[in-house]
Structure 1
């Protein structure tokens, strides 16, 4: 899912990378200036990044109910499905890395064979609580995703081995799978949770990647922007690139669209303003009221109606 195709690589290398390196982000909007305005958190509360970046509720009443009213609800089917698909992808990628280190380059055939035989991870307890038809749908999609990703990883391993005859296992893992999955980050400098987890990070040219299994929404850019700011705050180097990976299942096929983008001043300012607005809602216990156009699949729909 995270591996760019040839056209995307050209777009990244010939357009976005040069532009991002010339990018003059306002110094006060770099994450390493977390101790000064406007990045300095105006309130003491700590928000999860998804609480800042997720704007599915038009009035943000879901945040009020969760953080102020302390209402606990079960995740909806889409959330459970997304979590299961994320887990399946991580399962394949982490297993591939583990096999490379376990067997080494000399036993590359064993690596590929075991990877090709890999089964999807067991369905979680949350998936097993879904209706039977929804369980079957999740099982089918996790199996399809697992097969899709296995084939791509095997091809990448073989491509690296063909090109580099004297490679070792650590370099093989790094070139074939140049990703850090579920990168743990402390967002407390920016008024966020200490326990953030970015879907994937490409370290060669720092780029935040976030996986989505729903329709594209403008506020999805806040996720990559938030993680970029946190990376800058923690490690003090610029992170100018993001990539939203949208995955669609259509007629037992997987369709992937990657939205590569530069994380400039406008996105950074949008994230800061959204963070401050939502932190104020929690800190001052403001009930924003029920939205006029609530989505019926919202986990809090029954609470509001």
Structure 2
């Protein structure tokens, strides 16, 4: 147990999880020996990279720990992170910065990730330029058909949930304006925030396990992009329901209030329909009035 705990403390995963990840990436990171020197093994390459992602330590520190040249450490981290991307992510746009936009499901899995928009861009601006928005506009996503709301005869489509920075759409709900809200609007905002906190907590779990995110990543933007996406891949590999609760304090974030922006008529009508449903006997939850 002590050895298991020590392994997890060093690399943020169990020995079994390490072997699973190694089996996936080893074919992509294994190097051949030369007459002059023996190649660094795939296991050593993965361990070094995971240590960097788990701690955010400098390459000079890792160079000392692993007795490998600093430039070699940099190369190994970059190549190993890239190997994770080759196994999973197919569509992402590389740009000069490290903004991360993601879609997270109810199990804290990252279902869509876009990394690399301009750092000064707003969330709405990142969304507007994303291939995710293009896919929504062209109906390319496998979104289920509209269904009746439980216990009612009102039909509603499946929608994504966003905060006040995103546009209100028929497929993307956001909060009502924080000003002069009536009771039903406050209930709607609570219910939306209650659903949206899964996303916030998904980011919290990601950063709590891979603590490279808790400090400045002193790498070029292209390498930062690889680091971020590799961490997301590892997050999805390793996420077992409930296991993140033992990863330490600070992973759960409070609910956030929201404000509204420009709205379309169809999206307004849908939001009003959901607002009314959430205060009906069929749509309410018993505790909602205590949180508005």
TM-score, length-scaled by structure 2: 0.29
Q: Flag the structure with larger Rg.
A: 2
User: Which gives a bigger RCO, structure 1 or 2 (Cα 8 Å, sep 6+)?
Assistant: 1
- The structure that is strand-richer by fraction is 1
Give the TM-score, by structure 1 length. 0.28
